[in-house]
Amino acid sequence: MINLIVNGKNHQLDIEDEMPLLWVLRDELGITGPKYGCGIAQCGACTVHVGGQAVRSCSMPIGDVDGPVTTIEGLGVPTALHAVQQAWIEHQVAQCGYCQSGQIMTTAAFLAETPDPTDEDIDEALSGNLCRCGTYPRIRAAVKTAAKNLKEA
């Protein structure tokens, strides 16, 4: 039996330790924000936070999860969007949207560590998150706006 906290809710799951966290989230708990992309931790579509750190859930066995899990569904508070989510809307970042939960989750963890990022910092931090639509200029602008809004909060 595995005890897992996801988005503030406790779950008791009778699953194998080797099952990837992404499968647990999507198939066992019905949480569909993290997407299956490449399956080898290279595209970032499956990014979630574990203990506050951005991780690729497709390659993390559930038995290795050490800390609470936050998905895109749990990033904001019940009555407000997270600053990163709000900036994404403001800059109309999403085109097809498939990569966006991973982009947002990576950005939120990144800005918690780097509150005043340069363009180079942003490019490096998000280099593992692939956007097939090429909205990188809007992503960078949204990251800067989110960083500014987080500092003012």
Provide the mean pLDDT of the chain.
Answer: 96
Residue 82 half-sphere exposure toward CB, CA atoms < 13 A: 22
Mean pLDDT of 129-141: 94
- Residue pair 36/20 in contact (Cβ under 8 Å)? The answer is no
Nearest to 56 by CA among 100, 4, 8, 106: 106
How do strand 53-56 and strand 47-50 relate by DSSP bridges? antiparallel
pLDDT band at residue 144 using 50, 70 and 90 as cut-offs = very high
22-68 residue pLDDT tens: 999 999 999 999 999 999 999 999 999 999 999 999 999 999 999 99
Q: Give the predicted TM-score (pTM) of the model.
A: 0.93
Residue 79, pLDDT above cutoff 90: no
Which domains, and CATH codes, for the chain? Answer: 2-71 (3.10.20.30), 83-152 (1.10.150.120)
